[in-house]
Amino acid sequence: MRLLLATRNAKKLVELRRILAESTSVELVGLDDVPPYPEEPETALTFEGNALAKARDGVRHTGLPCVADDSGLTVDALNGMPGVFSARWSGRHGDDAANLALLLGQLGDVGDEDRGGAFVCAAALVFPDGREHVVRGEVRGRVLREPRGVNGFGYDPVFVPDGFEISTAEMSADEKDAISHRGKAFRAVAELLGA
């Protein structure tokens, strides 16, 4: 079965392909492997809503079964924000440095006991026959006061998962995948695919 992962992010493709390879015979393709179609902005206010909208779009435009994900950092002291706004928290879409600096500034007066949060990933799987599934992966942790590490992207340098002493930007890609929100969500998708 050909399956579209609605992303242009090569790392996501590799990660899902590796997870699927363990247990299924799916041929995974990305947005760069199918005829281009207009991609809608992410306007839902939940990770699940954005993932589902992207997966539905993928099915509608390609006729393939489609997986799409949306993820971000939820901080308890901010009532779960940046959340779906994670990539545009500073108002500038995709400006990781500005988003991270803003988050640290906002949490400047917040004590260690209130710096808990989670990386969250929702993954939607939609089939051309209309079947729809949405799964969620989470990794709980806490937000540091200063960035640490150079791996990963986004808020990785300020997030330490529970049970660890290093940030997700100080982990290797394999270490991070093993515990990550996206890894959990993608493994749940693999199970849905009959793995």
- Can you say which residues are annotated as belonging to the binding site for substrate? 7-12, 71, 153-156, 176, 181-182
DSSP reduced 3-state for 134: strand
Q: How far is the CB of 100 from a second copy (least distance, A)?
A: 11
- In angstroms, what CA-CA distances link 185 with 19, 139, 159? 11, 11, 19
Q: Say whether residue 154 binds a second copy (CB under 8 A).
A: no
On whether the CB atoms of residues 87 and 154 are closer than 8 A, the answer is yes
Q: Which of 79, 146, 163, 165 binds a second copy (CB under 8 A)?
A: 79
Among 29, 34, 81, 195, contact with a second copy (rule: CB under 8 A)? 81
Instruction: Decide if residue 192 touches a second copy (CB under 8 A).
Output: no
DSSP readout, 144-189? -SS---SSSSTTGGGEEETT-SS-TTSS-HHHHHHH-HHHHHHHHH
The minimum distance between CB 53 and a second copy, in angstroms, equals 13
Regarding 145 and contact with a second copy (CB under 8 A), the answer is no
Question: Is 70 an annotated catalytic residue?
Answer: yes
Which residues lie across from 137 on neighbouring strands? 121
Q: Hey, what amino acid is at 9?
A: N
Binding stretches for a second copy (CB under 8 A): 41-43, 45, 77-81, 83, 85, 88-92, 101-102, 104-106, 108-111, 114
